[in-house]
């Protein structure tokens, strides 16, 4: 928890500190990025401008925040139950006067608390970085992005928690793979509109800064 929260927060802070150095060149970069065809559409550079502070945050920081937080939630959720089977501690745990539903509920609650705390820590660092940089931004857009990230991470964590209940092998790779698969599916939908019917399969679609700020969200 400390490593993931600290790592993501440090990345957010470092990237935001770079914004003033590039602010004067962002207009030219917007023009360059808008003409890169499929790459432009994939990352929403035709809808979000990096020359704005919130646009820079959404593109440079939002992507890593979404993927990094999703990986943390996936690993946490996947190891919640499967580690008891893999490390042969389930027999000891269930031998106590404790219902299985209570044990699982405790693990689920613990996972949710850690995900919320991680998001609160990153949100605080992000807000402080906005204050230090001093650029103009709409607080509602910032809060919308951060709340959507929290919901994204909770959904990924819950999906992997469900997988953990049926898989006895504690595998970090599976958790990372689930998070990346959901993210790649969202990138494909940004490029191919015909795939929008699959938007209910990935929470990355609803947490994507392109859809939240660019106004392309379809419910």
Other CB atoms within 10 Å distance of the CB of residue 133: 17
Give me the pLDDT at residue 53, please: 78
Confidence of residue 216 (pLDDT cuts 50, 70, 90): very low
Query: What are the phi and psi torsion angles at 98 (to 5°)?
Result: -140, 130
The string of DSSP letters for 66-108 reads HHHHHHHHHHHHHHHHHHHHHTT-HHHHHTSS--HHHHHHHHH
How far is residue 10's CA from residue 180's CA, in Å, rounded to a whole number?
A: 22
Q: Is the pTM of this model over 0.85?
A: no
Residues 69-101 as b or e (16 or more Cβ within 10 Å = b): bbbbbbbbbbbbbbbbbeeeebeeeeeeeeeee
pLDDT in tens, 46-68: 666 666 777 778 777 778 888 89
- Residues contacting 104, CB < 8 A, separation 6+: 81, 165
Give me the pLDDT at residue 79, please: 83
How far is residue 92's CA from residue 107's CA, in Å, rounded to a whole number?
A: 16
Give me the pLDDT at residue 218, please: 45
Rg (CA), the chain: 19
In the predicted structure, residue 42 carries a pLDDT above the cut 80 = no
Of the candidate ranges 14-23, 48-57, 120-129, the one whose mean pLDDT is the lowest: 48-57
Of the candidate ranges 11-20, 32-41, 74-83, 152-161, the one whose mean pLDDT is the lowest: 32-41
**Structure tokens given for 54:** 């919130």
How far is residue 163's CA from residue 75's CA, in Å, rounded to a whole number?
A: 11
The mean pLDDT value for 163-176 works out to: 75
Contact 168, 87 (CB under 8 A): no
């Amino acid at each position: 928890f400390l490593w993931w929260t600290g790592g993501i927060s440090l990345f957010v802070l470092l990237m935001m500190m770079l914004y003033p150095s590039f602010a004067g060149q962002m207009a030219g970069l917007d023009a360059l990025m808008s003409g890169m065809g499929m790459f432009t559409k994939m990352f929403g550079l035709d809808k979000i401008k990096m020359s704005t502070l919130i646009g820079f945050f959404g593109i440079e920081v939002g992507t890593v925040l979404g993927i990094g937080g999703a990986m943390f939630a996936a690993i946490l959720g996947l190891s919640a139950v499967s580690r008891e089977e893999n490390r042969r501690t389930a027999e000891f745990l269930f031998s106590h006067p404790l219902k299985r539903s209570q044990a699982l509920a405790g693990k689920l609650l613990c996972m949710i608390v850690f995900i919320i705390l991680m998001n609160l820590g990153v949100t605080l660092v992000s807000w402080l970085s906005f204050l230090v940089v001093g650029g103009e931004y709409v607080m509602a857009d910032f809060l919308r992005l951060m709340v959507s990230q929290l919901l994204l991470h909770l959904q990924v964590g819950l999906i992997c928690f469900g997988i953990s209940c049926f898989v006895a092998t504690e595998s970090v790779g599976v958790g990372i793979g689930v998070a990346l698969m959901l993210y790649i599916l969202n990138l494909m939908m940004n490029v191919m509109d015909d795939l929008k019917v699959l938007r209910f399969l990935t929470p990355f679609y609803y947490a994507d800064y392109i859809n939240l700020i660019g106004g392309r969200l379809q419910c």
